[in-house]
Structure 1
Amino acid sequence: MKKVLLLPIAAAALGLAACSDKAQNETSQAADAVAADADATMGEAADDVSAASDRAFDSAENGIDRAGDAIGNAADDAGRAIDRTADDAGRAVDRGTRETGREMERVGNDLQN
């Protein structure tokens, strides 16, 4: 099978050897142009992949930022709720203390009379 492949390659080499200098130059220039196009295409593809990666990372970063903000907001809301509850409890204790004091004073007055 290797001999079968060598035959067309040898024929192509002989054909190229028989070409004029002008034809060889044109073939070389065409090969250079194809190589340059392939190189440019690969460069553009690499740039596209890089840009897509940057967008994906930016999107992920924004999602993490939004999640952090939501957690911070929830913590702030919880803190405010705790403060309100503590304030309500403090007012209830104050009312209970005042009412107890008034009741003790009334009982004391009743005992004196």
Structure 2
Amino acid sequence: MKKVFLSLAVIAALTVVSCKQADANAEAAVDSTATEVVDTAAAAIDTAAAAVDTAAAAVEKAGEAVEAAKEEVKK
């Protein structure tokens, strides 16, 4: 009977120890994945910001062309 209880205690101890290691590894994996996602999102935001800047410059240039055309029509 003592051997059964000792065996169960050893199995329970190994189970608890192995679960803690898996949690630590899973937590590290989640941290690295979150970092990659943040880096990817930052790159996407930078790309979008560059596109917005290009579009804003094109709109400004078009506005200047419209103003120039207005002046030509007035003449």
Scaled to the shorter chain, the TM-score interval is 0.7 to 0.9
Identical columns (%): 19
Among 27, 31, 34, the alignment partner of 1:58 is: 34
Deviations 1:11-43, CA, capped at 9 Å, x for gaps: xxxxxxxxxxxxx83xx2444433322221111
Matched, 1:33 2:21: no
Query: 2:66 is matched with which residue?
Result: 90
- Separation in 2, partners of 1:81, 1:37: 66
* Partner Cα distance (1:98, 1:47) in 2: 73
CA RMSD of aligned residues (A): 2.3
Give 2:43's aligned residue.
67
Matched residue, 1:17: none
The higher-RCO structure (CA 8 Å, 6+ apart) is 1
Structure number with larger C-alpha Rg: 1
**Normalization by structure 1: what TM-score?**
0.53
Partner letter of residue 34 of structure 1? V
Gaps of at least 5 residues in structure 1 are: 1-23, 102-113
TM-score scaled to structure 2, two decimals? 0.74
The list of structure 1 runs, each at least 4 consecutive aligned residues, that deviate by more than 6 angstroms after superposition, is none
Residue in 1 that maps onto 2:52: 76
